[in-house]
Amino acid sequence: MQQDQRRWLKCERGKQYNKANDHQSLDSSRVASPIPPRCLLAIVDTYTLLYLRNTRRDSASVSRVVMYFVLCARAAALIYSPRESSKARVRSTPMLVHTFGVHICTSSFESRRLRTSQIVHIVSHSSIIICIPQVRVKWMGRAGMRLSEAESASDCILVVGVSRPKLAAAFLTVALISLFLTFHILYDSALYSLHAAAAAAAREAVDSSSSSSSLDLLVLDNGIDDNSYESNSIDAVAAAPFGTPPAAVTPSLQLQMAAAYNTASPPAKAHFPKTSRQLPQAIIVGVRKCGTRALLEMLFLHPQIQKAAGEVHFFDRDDNYSKGLEWYRKKMPYSFKGQVTIEKSPSYFVTPEVPERIFAMNASVRLLVIVREPVTRAISDYAQLRSHASSTPSPPTSSFSSSSSSSSSSSSSPSMSPVSSNNVNSFQSPNSSTSTSLQQQQPQQQQQQRSFDELAIRSDGTINESYRPIAISIYHMHMYRWLEVFERRQILIVNGDQLIDDPVPQLKRIESFLRLESHIGRHNFYFNHTKGFYCMRSDSEEKCLKESKGRRHPRVSPMVVSKLRRFFSEHNRKFYDLVGEDLGWPEE
């Protein structure tokens, strides 16, 4: 105790000394005598205190040796470069003390700054005690800084510096968050790689299954671009005049599709613990060529959204539907609890049975209907049909169905009322086409060689409403069926034209519709001038949709366009009334 008191006195004496010599250069002769020989100057900040507290002085660890050299260098810098700012030095000095093995004694220091010249002086004499204030060691008890009874009495240090617990806490928080994020990113990328590997394996399986078949019609893309599964099948159906049974998908092709899809499902074991395949809580039900793929990919930027690969066509194809919900569930991606699984199959929108089937699966499902200005959509549809017709080899045939026959059959087709039982099949996709033959594709393929103008406007100048690209664009004819089954609040109408021009506002609407936190923002997009569309950017990659999205449209005569717009204006108004939103499409 006596020793403690002596040390205390020394500190106090130093304090007195400082008071007396406030802002004066130190006179070493005046302070030399009462000072124990091993006392050194210490300028201690919070981190050093922590370090001092947690490191045993007698441990000869590598870090201690390294520290010794570092501190000696710093001491030299301090002594020989007095012109450096005192602030920097005050920060760098404390370790000196630790290395030279000094203990800490504290006192109620008065507030006062140590001048650079003083520090230099102190260090060069290395045997001075001055108690300098501005020590606010808030988070280390004073007891922790006092000498214990057992310890040597010869050491004492000067404590100068500023304790910064808040800064330390901030650093610690940032460090912890960075650690957490790093871990999260690693975990995410591992998850992504596993899924990618599963998808690649699935694609390989599909490739091999389709290449081994005699018909090379099926191109299944399990990833970003969807058109594959839909394109060949639905396009063929779409090419048919409205109201005629779909003709493109042969039984053998259907079998291939089913086989391909069976093999295409990712291996059941490729998933993380705590993930499972969920039936979709939200479905993009259409409309074809309105940006359904872009919408799904953009939504997939949201961490809470998982998307099904490709198009599942569960509800619109009887053969798929007959396989049951478990089959459908297995087509869904693995998801964590709380994530929303989304599927998109654009032909759901126009297939009469679909609303009730979806309702039977989940009465509270959320539905997204993306629409686009109807004439542009029809032209886009035509462009796709034409592109696929030209890339699909024509079977040898001499038969050719003239345009008038197609038109007349269309005009005599039943009205589009879906409640008519005759009409149920009119929009039915490939599942109902099992009785059709390959030959029936021929006129459709050849039909696509004709111009849009010819196909959309009959020779007598009337609109060919039964031409499928036109028929699909008459949105209210399909929409009302959905509203007979679902409440309006379960359906969100997405503006496909705006999604092209400026995706973020539409995506924000959807996030809120799906009750998800807002996450997707402008940082997720950049405009690709070559493509003429927005492309996506996430932490890991930048991605544009492939060429089949954003095709060059054929030239359509302005007269035909304005004629079609006039035709659609009344239908559009009916659609606006039905959904209670005016999408502002041009009427001329």
**Residues classed as catalytic:** 289
Q: How far is the CB of 288 from ligand PPS (least distance, A)?
A: 4
Q: Which is nearer to ligand PPS, 482 or 525 (CB)?
A: 525
| Length, in residues, of the chain | 588
Q: Which is nearer to ligand PPS, 288 or 313 (CB)?
A: 288
- Does residue 292 have a known ligand-binding role? yes
Q: How far is the CB of 46 from ligand PPS (least distance, A)?
A: 52
H/E stretch holding 286 reads strand 282-286
Q: How far is the CB of 534 from ligand PPS (least distance, A)?
A: 5
φ, ψ of residue 457 to 5 degrees: the values are -115, 125
Backbone φ/ψ region at 238: left (φ over 0), alpha (ψ -120 to 50), beta: alpha
Q: Which is nearer to ligand PPS, 395 or 554 (CB)?
A: 554
Q: Which is nearer to ligand PPS, 241 or 286 (CB)?
A: 286
DSSP strands (E only) in 316-444: 334-336, 340-344, 366-371
Distance of alpha carbon 21 from alpha carbon 289, whole angstroms: 85
- Does residue 310 have a known ligand-binding role? no
- Does residue 289 have a known ligand-binding role? yes
Scanning 55-164, the segments in alpha helix (DSSP H) are 62-80, 86-92, 94-100, 116-125
- Does residue 293 have a known ligand-binding role? yes
- Does residue 551 have a known ligand-binding role? yes
Q: Alpha carbon of 100 to those of 66, 67, 71: distances in Å?
A: 13, 11, 9
Distance of alpha carbon 472 from alpha carbon 466, whole angstroms: 9
Q: In sequence order, which residues have a C-beta less than 8 Å from that of residue 162 and are 6 or more positions away? A: 45, 134, 135, 136
Applying CB under 6 A, the residues found at the interface with ligand PPS are 226-227, 288-294, 346, 380, 383-384, 499-500, 533-534, 545, 549-551
Q: How far is the CB of 391 from ligand PPS (least distance, A)?
A: 14
Distance of alpha carbon 456 from alpha carbon 472, whole angstroms: 12
Q: Which is nearer to ligand PPS, 155 or 373 (CB)?
A: 373
401 - beta bridge partners? none
Q: Which is nearer to ligand PPS, 159 or 370 (CB)?
A: 370
Distance of alpha carbon 15 from alpha carbon 102, whole angstroms: 19
CA 107 to chain centre: 56
Six token digits for residue 406: 């197609």
Distance of alpha carbon 238 from alpha carbon 429, whole angstroms: 9
DSSP letters, 25-48, are ---HHHHSTTS-TT-EEEE--HHH
Whether omega for the bond prior to residue 44 falls within 30 degrees of 0, making it cis, is no
Q: How far is the CB of 371 from ligand PPS (least distance, A)?
A: 10
Q: In sequence order, which residues have a C-beta less than 8 Å from that of residue 417 and are 6 or more positions away? A: 423, 477
- Does residue 146 have a known ligand-binding role? no
Q: In sequence order, which residues have a C-beta less than 8 Å from that of residue 362 and are 6 or more positions away? A: 279, 281
Q: Which is nearer to ligand PPS, 290 or 340 (CB)?
A: 290
Q: Which is nearer to ligand PPS, 227 or 426 (CB)?
A: 227
- Does residue 380 have a known ligand-binding role? yes
3-state SS record for 559-572: HHHHHHHHHHHHHH
- Does residue 290 have a known ligand-binding role? yes
Q: Which is nearer to ligand PPS, 99 or 233 (CB)?
A: 233
Closest listed residue to residue 476, CA positions, set 575, 374, 367, 570: 575
Closest listed residue to residue 16, CA positions, set 132, 180, 140: 132
Q: How far is the CB of 323 from ligand PPS (least distance, A)?
A: 23
Q: How far is the CB of 171 from ligand PPS (least distance, A)?
A: 42
- Does residue 549 have a known ligand-binding role? yes
Q: How far is the CB of 233 from ligand PPS (least distance, A)?
A: 12
- Does residue 552 have a known ligand-binding role? yes
Closest listed residue to residue 430, CA positions, set 233, 205, 169: 233
- Does residue 38 have a known ligand-binding role? no
Distance of alpha carbon 183 from alpha carbon 176, whole angstroms: 11
Closest listed residue to residue 539, CA positions, set 226, 271, 186: 186
- Does residue 522 have a known ligand-binding role? no
Q: How far is the CB of 69 from ligand PPS (least distance, A)?
A: 59
Residue nearest to ligand PPS (CB): 380
Place of tokens 């159906």: 237
Binding-site residue set for 3'-phosphoadenylyl sulfate: 289-293, 372, 380, 534, 549-553
